[in-house]
Amino acid sequence: MLVRIFSGETDRWKHQPLYEAIGLKARELQLAGATVSRWPMGFGTSNRLRRTKILRLSMDLPPVIEIVDTEEKFNEFLSLLDELMNSELATLEKAWVMDYRAKGVIAVAWRWSRE
């Protein structure tokens, strides 16, 4: 499964950036992997446009946190998200997970393999 969380760079949980708190919780629960990306432009339900400009850098660019693992491992993590999130948006979807470290390609989610 893949969970994708859309937030603002200034969104916080306690005294740390929300994206950092979420990433550290995912690591603490030993989920398979997490990545935070900072995008040059975005908007959400408030319709407030956040973007970079050549002469002015925005201080609230829209980070996206993507975390991948099995559905079973996400059950505990998703209940923690309820505690961390306030007005952000999250999506959860099935994903093809391909592990290139092993010989050949193995998609863990559906046990699909290619020799």
Domain, as residue range, for 39: 2-114
Residue 103's pLDDT band (boundaries 50, 70, 90)?
low
Mean pLDDT of 16-35: 92
* Counted domains in the chain: 1
Q: Which of 44, 36, 39 is nearest to 20 (CA)?
A: 36
* pLDDT surpasses 80 at 26: yes
d(CA 88, CA 6): 6
Per-residue b/e over 40-49, b at no fewer than 16 CB within 10 Å?
A: eebeeeeeee
pLDDT in the model for residue 105: 53
**Structure-token pair, residue 43:** 């908007």
Query: CATH number for the domain including 103?
Result: 3.30.70.120
pLDDT in the model for residue 115: 44
Residue 53 vs residues 6, 39, 58, 60: alpha-carbon distances, Å: 21, 12, 7, 12
Mean pLDDT of 99-113: 54
pLDDT (tens digit, 9 = 90+) per residue, 57-98?
Answer: 556 667 899 999 988 888 888 888 888 888 788 888 988 877
